[in-house]
Amino acid sequence: MAEPIYLLLGIHHHQPVGNFDSVFEMAFEKCYRPFLEAMERHPSLKFSLHHSGPLLDWAAEREGDYLDRIAALVGRGQLEILGGGYYEPILPILKPSDARGQIEMMQKFWVDRTGVRPRGMWLAERVWEPSLAGLMHDAGMRFTILDDQHFRHAGLTDETLFGYWRTERAGKAVSIFPTDKTMRYLIPFRLVEDVIGHLLHLAQKHPGAAVTYGDDGEKFGVWPGTYDWVIGEGWLEKFLTALEANSGAIRTVTFSEHMGMKPPSGRIYLPTASYSEMLEWAMPAEAIVNYERTRKEIERAGLWERTAPFFRGGFWDNFMTKYPESNLIHKRVLLVSDRIDAAERSGKSLPEARSSLYRAQCNCAYWHGLFGGLYLNYLRHALYKNLIDAEVAVDTATNGGGEFVEAKALDFDSDGFDEALLTSRDITAIVSSRSGASLVALDWKPRRFALMNTMARRFEAYHKPAEGHEGGGEGGLPSIHDLGKSLGDLRRELVYDRFPRYAFVDHAFDSEPDWRGLLENRYEDCADIAGRAFSMESVGGAGASLTALAPTKSGGTLSVEKRYSLANQSRLSLSYSLKHSGPGSPPPWFATEFNFTLLAGHDKDRYFLWNGVKGDDVFMDAKLVVDDVSILEAVDRAFGFKLVIDAEAQKMVLCPVETVSQSEKGFDKIFQGTTVWLAWKPEWSPDGKAQISVGIELKNI
């Protein structure tokens, strides 16, 4: 009798840090529990399972029985636990000490729960870099799962990749199991007969081979339409029953079990890679358009199958170039990690700060592709909340929780330009010299809230008209990758920003602008200030001074000096010193954008007051123009604080920042924040000088 084929089932369950409780509850009800119950009904089938830390934290608090049942399956040898970075980080972008700490945190969880230390791990988004071999080995990991596409990028063009392969870095070796792409697309979207037919074909053609299936568990009930198909109509139960009925030809084994049975298929060195869609999404939007156009030309020529292994997209890290908002979170994570390390070297113990830091490394809000990801403001907020938690813990450990004010210059985001970092017990403010001396971060520490967490509106490749199509076979279910989508009425909402949505993004106008035009991003500057690099003149004490010279349309020059200072623990002041020289007259209007977010656009607990009076239903998504505003207050009763801006402005314009992005369900219009335009008619002196002052204060309510 021929040796059976060995099927290795690796299932990955994950929900991001910051997702809603209702989503966790739904996922357990419709997917995770039903999947576990199905496996319990088929004890002869073996599988491997990974849960990310956010799920484990939630289950430990709310689903203790679920974890006990997993431990029971481990105890009887039916289930192998897969480890990984606890809070599902992209490991290569972390400091090695943080990456290893995340892996060890996951190992400890499962040792405490089951007494068994995981030997293998799930890599978040299958993002691989060669250096991970050494990191995994040092952390006690002996194998991981990657796509067969990773192997094809290394030049392997076999029809099917079986078993597992060895790789190493500096002699530290680990094993890698390549998943079968056909299986990933068949399960669970095609009929059970199609999946079993594929496996029986492989068993007949390659007896004794091992085929790996490794993919998201959410396919079994969370993805659109899958609960009715997989659970309601019984796809999963039919599939497991069919595996049992064909156990003579298809035998399920765990990864560690197979490694004990069979030698590796060979040695290989894989390039940096992820799954093919991720590599596409990581490219600039215009490059994606060209990528898709070229791919279609290759497909029409009938050459796709032959050329696909050599046709790859970008590099995951470039999400942090594509989206400055992602880069800001990542670089602040590195900054806070360094602060924790320094505090620990001085003898401080900061386990809670370390855990908060790890939560801020959860990958989902660092990138965007098919899922909402970075565009979801509540996911970004959760990362910032945990980041600020960690920062406050370090502040307390080093300053005893007392008052302090500090200003220093450092290039924390590695762009070649210094930033000014202004901190107190209650505020963190970061000023970018590269981006018009704008305020790129403003955190209110008492409420763990990042006010500058505003996503800009930018072109995405899917904004171009495209023909939708549906996947899945006859009698099957379309995958979310294949669902046809149309922007429809949202196309009219597409507006793209000229600059990142920071605060104190400055403009000069040579006539009174069309204030309504500012609402739609229609304006023309007479001096190039907003995107100009400023010189860092001084940083220290409680403030920073930055200057720039901006040419005007009239041929003159506008000199702009911005002086930021922390007046006390909760107040940031900004003074402008303007000087016009050369031909023409000074600009009659000077304006600045203050972009910020209170997360919700239309909520009765978040509203504006100006000059001490509450407007009628003026929420964060308001669109209006107001004359002569001395004090503007943005009140957030949900989080219990308010932002107070005193500016003595002749004009104030309010408008929302709303993006259009795709998700697994279609297209979404998402509130990202509010733009407050403050505009003045400067009182120019005879020698062309003017002064403007703005104050920001944050208060708990």
- DSSP track, 310-365: G-----GGGHHHH-HHHHHHHHHHHHHHHHHHHHHHTT---HHHHHHHHHTT-GGG
216 classed as catalytic: yes
Q: What is the pLDDT of residues 119-136, one digit of tens each?
A: 999 999 999 999 999 999
**CA angle (286, 289, 295) in 5-degree steps:** 140
Residues 6+ apart with CB under 8 A from 197: none
What is the sign of the dihedral through the CA atoms of 496, 498, 503 and 505?
A: negative
What's the full length of the chain, in residues? 701
Query: Which class would CATH give 476-700?
Result: mainly beta
Residue 474's pLDDT is: 54
Whole-number Cα distances in Å, 668 to 480, 492, 497, 606, 622? 15, 13, 18, 22, 19
What is the sign of the dihedral through the CA atoms of 182, 462, 368 and 412?
A: positive
Relative to beta strand 606-610, strand 143-147 is unpaired
Lowest mean pLDDT across 22-31, 182-191, 215-224, 612-621: 612-621
Q: Is the pLDDT of residue 521 over 50?
A: yes
What is the sign of the dihedral through the CA atoms of 329, 330, 334 and 335?
A: negative
Cis upstream peptide for 92 (omega within 30°): no
Whole-number Cα distances in Å, 578 to 510, 563, 573? 15, 11, 16
What is the spatial distance between Cα 4 and Cα 250, in angstroms, rounded to a whole number?
A: 5
Residue 479's pLDDT is: 59
Q: What is the pLDDT of residues 19-52, one digit of tens each?
A: 999 999 999 999 999 999 999 999 999 999 999 9
**Domain residue spans in the chain?**
5-274, 476-700
Q: Which amino acid, one-letter code, is at 55?
A: L
Q: Where do the H-state alpha helices sit in 500-595?
A: 515-519
Whole-number Cα distances in Å, 579 to 119, 435, 537, 558, 560? 66, 20, 17, 6, 7
Q: Of 3.20.110.20, 3.30.1490.20, 1.10.8.60, 3.40.50.20, which CATH number belongs to 5-274?
A: 3.20.110.20
What is the spatial distance between Cα 460 and Cα 555, in angstroms, rounded to a whole number?
A: 36
Catalytic-labelled residue, pool 168, 216, 237, 497: 216
Residue 480's pLDDT is: 57
What is the spatial distance between Cα 403 and Cα 395, in angstroms, rounded to a whole number?
A: 10
Relative to beta strand 449-450, strand 571-581 is unpaired
Residue 516's pLDDT is: 79
Q: Is the pLDDT of residue 190 over 80?
A: yes
Residues 6+ apart with CB under 8 A from 456: 324, 325, 497, 499, 500, 501, 657, 659, 672
* Section 611-640 average pLDDT: 90
Residue 323's pLDDT is: 97
Q: What is the pLDDT of residues 54-86, one digit of tens each?
A: 999 999 999 989 999 999 999 999 999 999 999
What is the spatial distance between Cα 672 and Cα 376, in angstroms, rounded to a whole number?
A: 8
CB burial of residue 625 (10 Å; 0-12, 13-18, 19+) = middle
Relative to beta strand 250-252, strand 5-13 is parallel
Whole-number Cα distances in Å, 370 to 71, 157, 329, 609, 667? 34, 28, 21, 39, 10
What is the spatial distance between Cα 9 and Cα 48, in angstroms, rounded to a whole number?
A: 6
What is the spatial distance between Cα 607 and Cα 638, in angstroms, rounded to a whole number?
A: 11
* Section 478-485 average pLDDT: 54
How is residue 30 written in tokens?
A: 């419709």
Q: What is the pLDDT of residues 530-550, one digit of tens each?
A: 989 999 999 998 888 989 888
Contact 325, 435 (CB under 8 A): no
Whole-number Cα distances in Å, 283 to 125, 296, 483? 16, 17, 22
* Section 288-298 average pLDDT: 95
Lowest mean pLDDT across 152-156, 163-167, 187-191, 431-435: 152-156
Q: Hey, how many other C-beta atoms are within 10 angstroms of the C-beta on 525?
A: 20
Contact 326, 369 (CB under 8 A): no
Catalytic-labelled residue, pool 88, 125, 325, 510: 125
What is the spatial distance between Cα 239 and Cα 236, in angstroms, rounded to a whole number?
A: 5
Residue 403's pLDDT is: 93
Residue 471's pLDDT is: 40
Residue the block writes with tokens 């074909």: 201
Residue 518's pLDDT is: 81
Task: For residue 227, give the nearest of 22, 483, 477, 481 by alpha carbon.
Answer: 477
* Section 433-438 average pLDDT: 94
What is the spatial distance between Cα 450 and Cα 454, in angstroms, rounded to a whole number?
A: 9
Relative to beta strand 120-122, strand 535-540 is unpaired
Specify the DSSP element, H or E, that contains 415: none
Largest CA distance in the chain: 101
Specify the DSSP element, H or E, that contains 639: none
* Section 448-460 average pLDDT: 97
Whole-number Cα distances in Å, 533 to 329, 418, 550, 573? 21, 10, 10, 21
Q: What is the pLDDT of residues 223-242, one digit of tens each?
A: 989 999 999 999 999 999 99
Confidence at 470, pLDDT banded by 50, 70, 90: very low
636 classed as catalytic: no
Residue 2's pLDDT is: 86
Q: Is the pLDDT of residue 511 over 90?
A: no
- How far apart are the two ends of the chain, measured CA to CA in Å? 77
Average pLDDT, the chain: 93
Relative to beta strand 613-619, strand 641-663 is unpaired
Q: Is the pLDDT of residue 473 over 50?
A: no
Task: For residue 561, give the nearest of 689, 428, 405, 427 by alpha carbon.
Answer: 689
Contact 429, 565 (CB under 8 A): no
Task: For residue 74, give the nearest of 13, 30, 117, 31 by alpha carbon.
Answer: 117
Specify the DSSP element, H or E, that contains 382: helix 377-399
